Amino acid sequence: MAAAVAVARYRAGARLIPRFASNSRIDQVLRSISPEHTPAGSEVWITDISWTEEATNTHLRQLADRGVKLYWFDHHRTALARHASGAIHAPFTDYELSEAVSGARLVYEYLERRLAASDQANEAFRAFAPVVAQADDNDRWIHAIPGSRELALTVSTLAGTDDDNLDAYHALLDIDADITYSPAMRAAYEQSTREIKDSFALAQRSRVRRAGPDGSSLVCAVCDGYPSEIGDSWGKQATNTVFVLYDRKHGGVSLRRSPDCQVDLSKLAQMFDGGGHPAASGCRPHELPELIARSVAGLFASGLQDLFDADRTESD
C-alpha cells in the first residue's frame, strides 16, 4: 500500500490507476492492462509482488513493445528466486530486488534518488517519508518506531478484503508528515483491536498440534485476520515450531515460525503457489476448499448416521 502511495505522490498531477491484488490474482490483474488502451510513455509500477505465469511475461513484453515503461520492486525471497531462475524476464525499464528493506522503502528510496537528480521540489512526496519508515519498520517486524504496528493495523483494516477498496490508499495519500489520524483511521484502529481479540480466541479454540520432522512441531489453527500477531505471540512461547494459520477473513494460509526455527517458509509456501520470506509467507492451496468440504462432510455424515440410528432405536 505505502509503495503505491509513494508512486502516486511522486507522480502527483498525473492520471493514476491504482490496482491491488493478492498473489492468486496478480497474473490476472497484470494481464488485464490492455496494450491497445495504454499509450506509449505510460508507466506500470509493480510493487511488492511477483507473478508465476509465462503468459504474464509475454503480456508485459507486449506492453513494453508499445512503449510502456515497466518498473518492478520486490523484497520477497520468492520473487528474488523467480527472477534468478529466469521465470520472471519481462523487459523492465528499471527494477530493484532486495531483501534488505521493505518493498515500500525500496520504491521510496528509488524515487527519492530520482527526485534529487532532477533538482525539483516535491514536498508532498518528501512528507511521506515518515510513513514509509513506519511501514518498513512493521513489514520487517522490527517495531523500533513507535506507532508502526498501529499504523499497519489501521491500514489493513481500512483496506479490508476487497482488492478494489481504495480507502486505505486515499487515507495515506492525504496523511501529513506527522501521521495525524483522520476520524476514519482512528475508527479503523479501534476496530482492529476488537477484531484481534476475536481472532486470537478463534485461533486458540481451533489450535491443533502435530509432530514434525527432526523434532519440529506443526501448529495449525483458524483465525479471522491478524495471523502475524498470532504467530508472533505464539512463537514467543514455542520452540522449533511452524505455524499454519488459515485466515478465514482473507481466504488464504499464513505461515509463521518460532524465532529459533530454521525452516524456510518461503520455500514451503512456494510448494503451494505462494511465497514470501523465510520467516513469514503465505499461500492459497488449490486443495484447501475441497479439504474443508471433506472435513465438514465427515462431521455431518457422522451426525446424520447418529440421527438415523436414534430414529431406528425409537421406532423399535
Q: What does the pLDDT look like over 186-233, one tens digit per residue?
A: 999 999 999 999 999 999 999 999 999 999 999 999 999 999 999 999
Q: What residues does 159 pair with on adjacent strands?
A: none
Confidence (pLDDT) at 22: 87
Confidence (pLDDT) at 316: 63
On the question of a common fold for 2-137 and 198-285, the answer reads no
As assigned by CATH, the class of the 2-137 domain is: alpha beta
What is the enclosing helix (H) or strand (E) of 94? strand 94-97
**Which residues have C-beta within 8 Å of that of residue 34, sequence separation ≥ 6?**
none
Confidence (pLDDT) at 122: 95
State which residues of the chain have pLDDT below 50.
none
Q: Does domain 198-285 fall into CATH 3.10.310.30?
A: yes
**Residues of 243-278 as b/e, b for ≥16 C-beta within 10 angstroms?**
bbbbbeebebbbbbbbeebebebbebbbebebbbbb
What are the sequence ranges of the domains in the chain? 2-137, 198-285
| Positive/negative CA dihedral, 187, 192, 194, 195 | positive
Confidence (pLDDT) at 89: 96
94 burial type by CB count under 10 A (0-12 exposed, 13-18 middle, 19+ buried): exposed
pTM score, two decimals?
A: 0.87
